[in-house]
Amino acid sequence: MPNKKPQFINGEFYHIYNRGVEKRNIFQEDKDYKLFVHDMYEFNDKNFVAAANVRFSYRKSKELDEKAIDIAFIKNNDKKPRKLLVEILAFCLMPNHYHFILNQKIDGGIVKFMQKLGIGYTNYFNLKNKRVGPLFQGSYKAKHINQQNYFDYLLFYLHFNPLDLIEEDWRGGGAKDYDKLRDYLDDYRWSSHLDYCGKKNFPSVINRDFYADLLGGEKGYKGQTIDWMKVIPKKIKADDFGFIIEKD
């Protein structure tokens, strides 16, 4: 059945997720991940922001390199104060899907943010790959985080998604080397895990205050990581809260 979106209420928390159409990869290289994260920052603004194909020149594709994106981050941080549409508490980007935990700041904030992000990144991806048509599998999915137990482990669930890339059975409780899994997460750039560990990765994109206070700061978060790796497989099925990496 299609996912029926909840009514988005200011101050409430929501799990937002989607994957590529036909389960295709939506991120093909580091530059794609970085631009998507950049768009998460820039499009989170009530003020007008030009679409990705306007902000960067595609006539000279070499201009859209990681240095150009880094410079854009710096310039954006120097411009006039933004009017946030949402508060991004956490995120995780995988080759064929993404997850967010969002807190809506203004009326219609989530809808506007996701519309700007989806259109902007699709324009970039299609121009880069000389393709046309939708990139994502329909509209994004959304679940209201209105149960305490869901809220408690959702942050870790999001951050553990990359483990599917190295340990297929961790969700089934079959992991054997938890230190290895934690080390892998500590090297994975495309989520908010590193920022919660106290390593500045994309600190301007997220607001970790709420969860950090709840978990006891960076030390509390890191101290619970392996415990949740053992607990989550017993609490949920792989598809309960989104998508898993598709294996060939």
DSSP symbols for 50-90: --HHHHS-STTGGGSSHHHHHHHHHHHHHSSPP--SEEEEE
Q: Where is the domain boundary, 82, 109, 142?
A: 142
Do 123 and 153 belong to one domain?
no
Do 53 and 151 belong to one domain?
no
In a domain, 248, yes or no: no
Do 155 and 121 belong to one domain?
no
pTM of the model: 0.86
- Terminus-to-terminus CA distance in the chain, angstroms? 25
Do 62 and 129 belong to one domain?
yes
Do 23 and 134 belong to one domain?
yes
Per-residue model confidence as pLDDT tens for the chain (248 residues):
455 789 999 999 999 999 999 989 999 999 999 999 999 999 999 987 655 444 544 434 445 565 666 665 555 555 667 899 999 999 999 999 999 999 999 999 999 999 999 999 999 999 999 999 999 999 999 999 988 878 888 999 999 999 999 987 888 887 889 999 999 999 999 999 999 999 999 999 999 999 989 899 999 999 999 999 988 887 665 445 444 444 33
Do 158 and 130 belong to one domain?
no
Do 91 and 121 belong to one domain?
yes
Do 61 and 156 belong to one domain?
no
For residue 245, which phi and psi values (nearest 5 degrees)?
-65, 135
Return the pLDDT at 53. 45
Return the pLDDT at 103. 97
CATH code of the domain covering residue 117: 3.30.70.1290
In a domain, 244, yes or no: no
Q: Where is the domain boundary, 142, 176, 192?
A: 142
Q: Where is the domain boundary, 95, 113, 142?
A: 142
Return the pLDDT at 179. 93
Do 17 and 127 belong to one domain?
yes
Return the pLDDT at 5. 85
Asked whether the beta carbons of 56 and 32 are under 8 A apart, the reply is no
Q: Which of 94, 110, 86 is nearest to 25 (CA)?
A: 94
Domain that holds residue 103: 13-142
Return the pLDDT at 74. 57
d(CA 142, CA 191): 19
Return the pLDDT at 122. 94
Return the pLDDT at 236. 62
d(CA 133, CA 58): 18
d(CA 6, CA 89): 19
How many folded domains does the chain comprise? 2
